[in-house]
Amino acid sequence: MVDYFYQGGGFMWPILGALLFGLGFAGERFYSLLISGIDTQQFFDDIKSIINKSGPDGALKLCETTEGPVSAIFHAGLSRMHRGIEEVEKAVQNAGGLEMAFLEKNMIWLNAVITIAPMLGFTGTVVGMIRAFDSIKAANDISPAVVAGGISEALLTTAFGLIVAMIIQVLQNIFVSRIDKLVLDMEEQSVKIVDYLYEVETKN
């Protein structure tokens, strides 16, 4: 594999750089999405229990010590509870928008790697083919050994670029699936917390 890398020529290095670049952002997204996941139903039940026992202040403290978009949305709604249910709804909606943007943060760079890596590979192939034909012209020989050697070297960059794009594409699909699940949880729990706080407000 290392021999193939060096045979591919200079364009293999920027493709390798694109792979490392993509893996770096993939690692950041993996960690961020990992800590964003909590048992949202249990968290909602805990919030209700604390509000019933000690009021919204205790629930706010739990939100501050819990990672994830749902806790951020709950915190936004609870902190506006004294202003009325309309303010709570606005705060929950605004917080939801911010958390969605946070979940999708840096995904654009994964898209960039998926697009650029094959393009670098194709460019390397074109340059390699030009060099191969120049070698044929200089040698004044179109024997299979001369032709096949140059073309094989040229095609390595395309293969490497496509492999890099496929790796990052798989990771991106995993992250998109995870983000979709988190967004659904956010929407479901947003409705629940607003309805619950409305019940609390009407009782008081």
**50-68 confidence digits (pLDDT tens):** 888 877 888 888 888 888 8
Question: Closest by alpha carbon to 157, among 10, 12, 2?
Answer: 12
Angstrom distance (rounded) from CA 56 to CA 82: 10
Angstrom distance (rounded) from CA 93 to CA 99: 10
**116 is written with which tokens?**
């650029």
pLDDT of 88 over the 70 cut:
yes
Q: Which domain holds residue 121?
A: 2-203
- Which amino acid would we find at residue 26? A
pLDDT of 137 over the 80 cut:
no
Radius of gyration for the chain, computed over Cα atoms and rounded to the nearest angstrom: 27
- 122 vs 146, more confident: 122
* Structural domain total, the chain: 1
**71 is written with which tokens?**
């806790």
Overall average pLDDT of the 166-178 stretch: 94
Q: What is the pLDDT of residue 141?
A: 63
Spell out the alpha helix ranges (H) of the chain: 2-7, 12-36, 40-54, 56-64, 69-79, 85-103, 107-139, 144-203
DSSP state letter for 65: T
**184 is written with which tokens?**
């659904």
Q: What is the pLDDT of residue 26?
A: 94
Q: What is the pLDDT of residue 97?
A: 87
Angstrom distance (rounded) from CA 156 to CA 13: 12
Q: pLDDT tens-digit profile of 91-133?
A: 888 888 888 888 888 899 999 999 999 999 998 888 888 877 7
